[in-house]
Chain A
Amino acid sequence: MTNGLDLEFSFNEALKSFGVPSEIAHIIWLPFPMLIVLVAAVVGVLVTVWLERKISAAAQQRIGPEYAGALGVLQPIADGLKLLVKEDIIPEKADSILFTAGPILVLVPVILSWLIVPFGQNLLISNVGVGIFLWIALSSIQPIGLLMSGYASNNKYSLLGGLRAAAQSISYEIPLALSVLAIVMMTNSLSTVDIVEQQSGAGILSWNIWRQPIGFVIFWICALAECERLPFDLPEAEEELVAGYQTEYAGMKFALFYLGSYINLILSALLVSVLYLGGWGFPIPVETISRILNIPIDTSLVQVITATLGIVMTILKAYLLVFIAILLRWTTPRVRIDQLLDLGWKFLLPISLANLLLTAGLKLALPKFFGG
């Protein structure tokens, strides 16, 4: 296994050659990946919003946005600008401190979770040891923000929406964590980079989706529930709750919720691709291709190509899942709250426990295939 492209190392070396001490070089380097990932997340949201509108239109035999830019690609930017210049309304009887803090608390953990999304061997902000566990922990902060904004709006729909959102994300967090646990058990590591590396042996055949088909389905259902996507969008069910916890929000604060939900969707899709679809891995391993073409893998050009391919593959897989999520949106009707909790506690939880047990048994029986 090669180390691949290490931009940080090269950057620090370059700065050191100018006589900058390594500590300062590290500090100068720090904001770069964060900024890039933040920009990537926001651009990802713009693309997702456009895709969502276009695919929804196609599924309903409409045309969708078409006047802002070619094929309406600038429509999300226009939407964003509109929200940016809209009046920021805080209802008179609302609790203004909590009302303002709510959307921030919803958005910040989601963006923080991008810390652990790898786009390549060294193409992530921080390869922290707790990796995927950090994401699970951070995503559990979100309900507090939802409860906060629901309570602060001083509106029964908002409060009900906030309570529903919190109940939903708490109950779907457990099967989600259990299905991640099965993966972690196979990898012997919580780090996302290790999880991808463990799947990189034989290209598409070694992806976790073949070893964890049940886990994949459970994870995807739970991820949809956590993102409040359509079969599970009870917290903002228009027919019952106007817009749930977002009812009283306008302008930039509403935009934060909007941004948060879409960033969360992309994040979940990226994590599914990392956990189950081999992350940055190409369906045919890059090492095999280079061996066939007889190119040494350590040359810088090959490394740049490999890194680009990795980023493209990760994003491609993620957007495939986003596409499935959009299709699901126009296929499934919204579940009732009792059906939602039934599905979470009576179906997904036992199945994910059984899946965990099965994985543990298979790990002992076939250590070669299920990680020793």
Chain B
Amino acid sequence: MSIAVTTQLICFSILSLIIIVGSLGVVLLESIVYSAFLLGGVFMSVAGLYLLLNASFVAAAQVLVYVGAINVLILFAIMLVNKKEDLKPIKYLNSRKLISSTICITLLSLLVRVDLTDTWIIADPKLSIGEESTIRLGEHLFSDYLLPFEVASVLLLMAMIGAIVLARRDVLSEDISTGLPVDQELIEKSDKPLLTQKK
């Protein structure tokens, strides 16, 4: 076994260990903040796996999108919402557990079966395109995968418009709880800058 192969094997086992332990931690840990940070770690390790597969562009994109955007947004949401709620006992907990574990085990067995029965075509490492994969990715995205690409972007656009509609808040003229007029002085208008306004 050459040094390169050994290094790869060590890296692969470490990364897989992190992914498995990390994702278990994401699900099982009590603290939601820890779960979110562990999720970031899991995403990073997945990026590491992509690197091992010679897909450096996909790895970088994984880090940028999943760690840099999605995970940060999850953390943001967690840190901005600190509403404390008392945990209520869930009804039919045992039957729920039973149903979900059955579904999970079925899915796992399906995956294992696919893994065992499929004949995996292992590409010749000499034919690996390496750095050219970026170009190949772009070609695919704008030719045969154009429709899914555009559909995904439309989906994101819809999500964004939805978020804007939800977050948009017109200035209220009176306080909802007390019914008193709101102090409009503190709302800066474009033609009346706050600093120069005098009364």
Contacts and interface: CB of A to CB of B under 8 A. Distances in A.
Interface in B115-168: 130-131, 134
B12 interface: no
A183 interface: no
A274 B190 CA distance: 40
Q: For this complex, into which size category does the number of interface residues on chain A fall?
A: 20 to 34
B69 A133 contact: no
Contacts of A27: 3
A137 B61 contact: yes
Given A128-B56, A130-B134, A144 B72 contact: yes
Interface in B52-89: 56-57, 59-61, 63-64, 67-69, 71-72, 75-76, 79-80
A269 interface: no
A166 interface: yes
Nearest to B78: A151
Interface in A201-253: none
Contact of A166 (B56, B57, B63, B72): B72
Interface string A116-158: 0000000000001110011011101101100110110000000
B130 A140 contact: no
Contact of A144 (B40, B57, B80, B130): B40
Interface string B40-57: 100010000000000011
Nearest to A166: B72
A141 B79 contact: no
B175 to A, nearest CB: 23
A103 B57 CA distance: 27
B134 A141 contact: no
B61 A163 contact: no
B95 interface: no
A208 to B, nearest CB: 20
Nearest to A160: B79
Given A140-B68, A170-B69, A147 B134 contact: no
A129 B134 contact: yes
B56 A140 contact: no
B196 to A, nearest CB: 16
A364 to B, nearest CB: 16
Contacts of A166: 72, 75-76
B64 A140 contact: yes
Interface residues of B, number: 26
A129 B33 contact: no
Nearest to B62: A137
Contacts of A141: 44, 63, 67-68
Nearest to A134: B60
B68 A137 contact: yes
A23 interface: yes
Contacts of A181: none
A268 B158 CA distance: 35
A278 B38 CA distance: 41
Given A141-B67, A144-B37, A147-B79, A130 B72 contact: no
B44 to A, nearest CB: 8
B197 interface: no
A133 B61 CA distance: 8
Given A130-B134, A140-B64, A163-B80, A147 B72 contact: yes
Contacts of A196: none
A141 B60 CA distance: 11
B71 A144 contact: yes
B192 to A, nearest CB: 16
Contacts of A322: none
A213 B44 CA distance: 35
Contacts of B67: 140-141, 144
Given A147-B79, A159-B79, A166-B75, 11 more contacts: A23-B3, A23-B4, A129-B57, A129-B131, A130-B56, A134-B60, A137-B60, A140-B64, A140-B72, A150-B79, A151-B79
5 closest Cβ pairs, A-B complex: A140-B68, A129-B131, A137-B60, A137-B64, A137-B63
26 contacts: A23-B3, A23-B4, A98-B37, A129-B56, A129-B131, A130-B56, A130-B57, A137-B60, A137-B61, A137-B63, A137-B64, A137-B68, A140-B69, A141-B67, A144-B37, A144-B40, A144-B71, A144-B72, A147-B76, A151-B75, A162-B79, A163-B80, A166-B75, A167-B76, A170-B69, A170-B72
